[in-house]
Amino acid sequence: MISGLTWIAVKTRFKKACSWCKKNWKFFAGLVTAGLILVLTRKSVNFSKILSRVREDHEKEIDIIDRSHDLEISEREAAQKRYFEVIEELEEKYREAEKNLDKKKQKEIKRLLDKYNDDPEELTKRIAELTGFSIH
């Protein structure tokens, strides 16, 4: 009974160790590479240089991520600004077009609505001709 529980505990610790190795595989790859270089060249390896290089590369990567994030935010803000400007321009054009629609045109539109009630395409075409709006 004790040996079965021991085996389960060993398996669990092995799984945890494998999980830790998966997370920190770069560290092991660096150690293996340094060991191979040490064996092949018979020179000493300066681990502090390797670690500082890894740290510098990480800082550069973080800097690039931050800059791309800032660029994305600024582009999004510019797109929002353009969007609101276009919406404001369209609303202004709509207000002007609405003012230009006088009583005579309103009566003619009502007449067209009554006449072409069952044919929306023809109604759209006639209203576009009357008002000068291009409808897509």
pLDDT over threshold 50, residue 63: yes
How many domains is the chain partitioned into structurally? 3
95 and 105 belong to one structural domain: no
> Hey, what are 64's tokens?
């690039």
Same domain, 85 and 105: no
Instruction: List the domain range (segments joined by +) for residue 21.
Output: 1-45
Return the exposure string of 55-69: e unless at least 16 CB atoms fall within 10 Å of the residue's CB, then b: eeeeeeeeeeeeeee
14-51: pLDDT as tens digits: 888 877 777 778 887 888 888 887 777 776 667 788 78
